[in-house]
């Protein structure tokens, strides 16, 4: 069965039909750049462009980089502040003319990884972290999601952790792998102190290069593995959420 998934990020908006039997993209994804400023209306237009590229008719799952409760976006760390308390489900559904499900981006990625990827069959406490423009998080207890954790905004060195340890921070400050890995290690140690997970799943686009930084991280007891679905996890999880909502 195929359902469409869209992943809204701070730098790009990407989507594709998803084969939910395999947990993988059914066709090569289409991506457009996130508009700046990333206002609700402009982002909705980009989502419509991605979905329209495939001439898709049917339910659509859409991720958002912030807290989402019942289709309403409550925070907006890396997009325009106009998203705060925006009825995203109505806005995006109206733009597409299709049934829409909206959820937190890292929650979507985590759901996909727990079902089809690195977290499959894992019990206990598992934390998925997505490193990109910010740091997203998804917390699972015995396979059950605790939604909207937003652990990228934990305080580290007096700042939001994501300002210090995200992929964007690495790029903006031109950090080498060793320097950045030390920052990620400090962040992971802080999260571990608070939640004592058995497993960290490291996702986002940077997970494609996990071999360059994961072996450099020490003093973290939990097992650390790269996301198996890599940067497609959000699209897959979005489609899964849309399927669950349509059932």
pLDDT band at 98 (very low <50, low <70, confident <90, very high): very high
Does pLDDT of 39 surpass 90? Answer: yes
The reported pLDDT for the residue numbered 78 is 87
Alpha carbons 237 and 108: distance in angstroms, whole number: 4
* Sign of the four-CA dihedral 172, 177, 178, 180: positive
2-107+232-246 classified as CATH 3.40.50.10490: no
Q: Tell me what pLDDT residue 43 has.
A: 98
pLDDT for the residue numbered 70: 97
Q: Where in the chain is the domain with CATH 3.30.420.40?
A: 2-107+232-246, 120-228
Across residues 212-238, what is the average pLDDT?
Answer: 96
Q: Cβ distance 82 to 76 under 8 Å?
A: yes
pLDDT tens digit sequence for 128-139: 999 999 999 999
pLDDT confidence tier of residue 220, bands split at 50, 70 and 90: very high
User: pLDDT-based confidence at 77, cuts 50/70/90?
Assistant: confident
Which contacts qualify for 114-117: CB closer than 8 Å, 24 or more apart? 114/140, 114/143, 114/145, 115/23, 115/240, 116/22, 116/23, 116/24, 116/228, 116/229, 116/236, 117/23, 117/201, 117/227, 117/228, 117/229, 117/233
Q: What is the mean pLDDT of residues 64-87?
A: 96
Segment 30-41 shows an average pLDDT of: 97
User: 120-228, which class in CATH?
Assistant: alpha beta
- The predicted pLDDT at position 35 comes to 96
pLDDT at 93 over 90: yes
What stretch of H or E contains 12? strand 12-19
Task: Tell me the pLDDT tens digit for each residue of 80-92.
Answer: 999 999 999 999 9
Q: Read off the pTM.
A: 0.95
């Amino acid at each position: 069965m195929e359902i469409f998934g869209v992943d809204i990020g701070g730098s790009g908006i990407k989507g594709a039909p998803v084969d939910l039997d395999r947990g993988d993209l059914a066709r090569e994804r289409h991506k457009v750049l996130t508009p700046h400023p990333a206002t609700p209306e402009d982002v909705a237009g980009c989502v419509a462009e991605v979905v329209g590229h495939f001439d898709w008719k049917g339910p659509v799952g859409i991720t958002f980089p912030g807290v989402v409760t019942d289709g309403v976006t409550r925070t907006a760390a890396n997009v325009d502040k106009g998203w705060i308390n925006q009825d995203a489900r109505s806005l995006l559904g109206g733009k597409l003319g299709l049934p829409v499900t909206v959820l937190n981006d890292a929650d979507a990625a985590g759901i996909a990884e727990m079902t089809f990827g690195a977290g499959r069959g894992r019990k206990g406490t598992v934390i998925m972290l997505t490193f990109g423009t910010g740091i997203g998080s998804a917390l699972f207890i015995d396979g059950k999601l605790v939604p909207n954790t937003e652990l990228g905004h934990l305080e580290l060195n007096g700042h939001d952790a994501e300002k210090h340890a995200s992929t964007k921070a690495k790029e903006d400050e031109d950090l080498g792998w060793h320097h950045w890995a030390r920052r990620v290690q400090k962040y992971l140690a802080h999260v571990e102190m608070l939640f004592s997970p058995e497993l960290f799943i490291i996702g986002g686009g940077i997970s494609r290069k996990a071999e360059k930084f994961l072996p450099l991280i020490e003093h973290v007891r939990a097992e650390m593995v790269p996301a198996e679905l890599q940067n497609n996890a959000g699209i897959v999880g979005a489609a899964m959420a849309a399927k669950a909502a349509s059932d």
